[in-house]
A and B are shown apart, each in its own frame.
Chain A
């Protein structure tokens, strides 16, 4: 009997750590969570430190013209956060786990992603200027991957931040191309073709439809007049137009009008999503016609259609043009300007326009943004 009890106790004692470990596995979540890039990015954000104004300007504007003590100091200061950036971009997937609150959805990661992109591109220039071409290529590719991770959530703002960070990376890559050797250039070109997946412009428009306008319409449907009152209070135009008016009690009819207009907006963004793959000029013409039509259906929210979708679409097209020009520029540095003959401008009928500038060169696309053709300059060494 004594032996039996002792065996039971020993078994219980032996099972205890196993049970605790099992319980820990449960509360820590699956191991695969460690492959979520977003978690690594937050670690990187935690190590981002504010810089003095002079160094912020250096990070934003330094062209990497040569070794610089100030640049060396700032580059060293960014090392921890950039090491974590490189860990993040190795991850298989990225999920920010945003808490959907419609227009109130918090997006605190986007500004930090942009700052991280600036610092990584600054260091890429510094590395290229000091002869570390491999390091420069790694930093640039990390920012291209980061830009895709910005857009792991499908809405317009993450989409635009993706474009902005991609623009930062494209500029840094163009600035350093002439300092890279052929092997490094080939590596850059190859890996630009295998960047992480992200949401599309179509996803962004559909998300606006559902989680911005649809969300708000549902809130008013659920909350009735009270929710509509709250909604109207948040509209500064009402206050600008006259506070007395905005204090008037809202009626069932007003609430119904809001819901109607929000549903018109929801329908508009869904239709726009289907046009997102059209060439920019055709998109502009068709979206403008649709905007005019929808405005007539709306009585309370006509500004909703003020050109927003064209701005987003044009920014996307500019980023596409710049990205295509970067790949063309790599080919030019590797094989000379003649290589352009086989590379098509996605917004024109032929190749990009080439102009020699000193020991560097400039490429020009047929795509016009803000009245000017989109260009990419590769400075000489």
Chain B
């Protein structure tokens, strides 16, 4: 061993264990007396946990209520002042409203039928319709 190691070993030898803190001594003595020394801080943890659970519960109920019908966005409203009088210039692009259908009816029930037909088609999803038998016939 060299001089540096000797010095190091000398310093290690001089080290002594640190004595127990007064708090530790107190808890150990309380433990030896049979009382739950750590009861106080643990109650705190449980209380915090219970509080968190309660807060979560309240939050869940609040969120559920917020997601309910009362919070639902109001549908876009059509213009209020649509033609009351028979309109002669409606098209299939006009919205399917009472005024537009009434106008079609004023022309004739057949016009109303035709407009309903157009609306039915324009409101349906885009064409994704396979016709295999027909394609086969064409080939």
- A contact residues vs B (CB 8 Å cutoff): 1-2, 5-6, 8-9, 12-13, 15-16, 19-20, 23-24, 26-27, 29, 48-52, 54-56, 69-70, 73, 77, 99, 101-108, 110-112, 114-115, 155-157, 160-161, 164, 212-213, 216, 219, 227, 230-231, 233-237, 262, 301, 303-304, 306, 308, 311-312, 315
Q: Is the pair A50, B102 in contact by a Cβ cutoff of 8 Å?
A: no
Cα distance, A111 to B64, chains bound together (Å) = 36
Instruction: Determine whether B37 belongs to the interface, using a CB cutoff of 8 Å to chain A.
Output: no
Q: Is the pair A15, B57 in contact by a Cβ cutoff of 8 Å?
A: yes
Q: Is the pair B50, A303 in contact by a Cβ cutoff of 8 Å?
A: no
Q: Is the pair A9, B50 in contact by a Cβ cutoff of 8 Å?
A: yes
| 17 contacts across the A-B interface (CB closer than 8 A) | A1-B39, A1-B43, A51-B127, A73-B131, A99-B77, A101-B78, A102-B82, A103-B98, A103-B102, A104-B99, A111-B120, A115-B117, A157-B105, A213-B84, A219-B80, A227-B81, A308-B102
The 8 Å CB contact of A160, one of B89, B95, B112, is B112
Cα distance, A161 to B83, chains bound together (Å) = 21
Cα distance, A269 to B42, chains bound together (Å) = 78
If A50-B129, A315-B109 touch, does A103 touch B57 (CB 8 Å cutoff)? Answer: no
The 3 lowest CB-CB distance pairs between A and B, nearest first, are A27-B68, A23-B64, A103-B99
Cα distance, A234 to B106, chains bound together (Å) = 17
Q: Is the pair A12, B113 in contact by a Cβ cutoff of 8 Å?
A: no
Q: Is the pair B50, A236 in contact by a Cβ cutoff of 8 Å?
A: no
Whole-angstrom distance from the CB of A309 to the nearest CB of chain B? 11
Instruction: Determine whether B8 belongs to the interface, using a CB cutoff of 8 Å to chain A.
Output: no
Q: Is the pair B96, A16 in contact by a Cβ cutoff of 8 Å?
A: no
Q: Is the pair B65, A27 in contact by a Cβ cutoff of 8 Å?
A: yes
If A1-B43, A161-B116 touch, does A9 touch B83 (CB 8 Å cutoff)? Answer: no
The 8 Å CB contact of B101, one of A1, A5, A54, A107, is A107
What would 9 more interface pairs be, CB under 8 Å, given A103-B99, A219-B80? A2-B43, A16-B57, A50-B121, A73-B133, A108-B96, A111-B116, A212-B98, A212-B102, A308-B105
Closest to A1 in B: B43
Give the bracket for the number of chain B residues in contact with chain A: 35 or more
Q: Is the pair B85, A104 in contact by a Cβ cutoff of 8 Å?
A: no
The 8 Å CB contact of B97, one of A69, A106, A213, A219, is A106
Cα distance, A29 to B69, chains bound together (Å) = 8
Whole-angstrom distance from the CB of B137 to the nearest CB of chain A? 9
The 8 Å CB contact of A105, one of B39, B46, B98, is B98
Cα distance, A69 to B129, chains bound together (Å) = 16
Q: Is the pair B81, A20 in contact by a Cβ cutoff of 8 Å?
A: no
Whole-angstrom distance from the CB of A320 to the nearest CB of chain B? 15
Closest to A233 in B: B81
Q: Is the pair A212, B46 in contact by a Cβ cutoff of 8 Å?
A: no
Q: Is the pair B64, A48 in contact by a Cβ cutoff of 8 Å?
A: no
Please, which residues of chain B bring their CB within 8 A of the CB of A52?
A: 127, 129, 131
Q: Is the pair B88, A236 in contact by a Cβ cutoff of 8 Å?
A: yes
Please, which residues of chain A bring their CB within 8 A of the CB of B36?
A: 2
If A111-B123, A213-B84 touch, does A55 touch B50 (CB 8 Å cutoff)? Answer: no
The residue in B78, B89, B98 that gathers the most chain A C-beta atoms within 10 A of its C-beta is: B98
Cα distance, A111 to B57, chains bound together (Å) = 46
Q: Is the pair A103, B84 in contact by a Cβ cutoff of 8 Å?
A: yes
Cα distance, A104 to B99, chains bound together (Å) = 6
The 8 Å CB contact of A2, one of B42, B68, B99, is B42
Cα distance, A48 to B124, chains bound together (Å) = 7
Cα distance, A237 to B88, chains bound together (Å) = 9
Please, which residues of chain B bring their CB within 8 A of the CB of A112?
A: 120, 123-124
Whole-angstrom distance from the CB of A69 to the nearest CB of chain B? 5
Cα distance, A49 to B120, chains bound together (Å) = 10
Cα distance, A155 to B101, chains bound together (Å) = 11
Cα distance, A110 to B99, chains bound together (Å) = 14
Q: Is the pair A27, B67 in contact by a Cβ cutoff of 8 Å?
A: yes
Cα distance, A114 to B56, chains bound together (Å) = 49
Q: Is the pair B78, A104 in contact by a Cβ cutoff of 8 Å?
A: yes
What does the 1/0 interface line of B59-84 toward A look like (CB < 8 Å)? Answer: 01100110111000001011111111
The 8 Å CB contact of A111, one of B54, B89, B96, B125, is B96
Q: Is the pair B96, A160 in contact by a Cβ cutoff of 8 Å?
A: no
Instruction: Determine whether B128 belongs to the interface, using a CB cutoff of 8 Å to chain A.
Output: yes
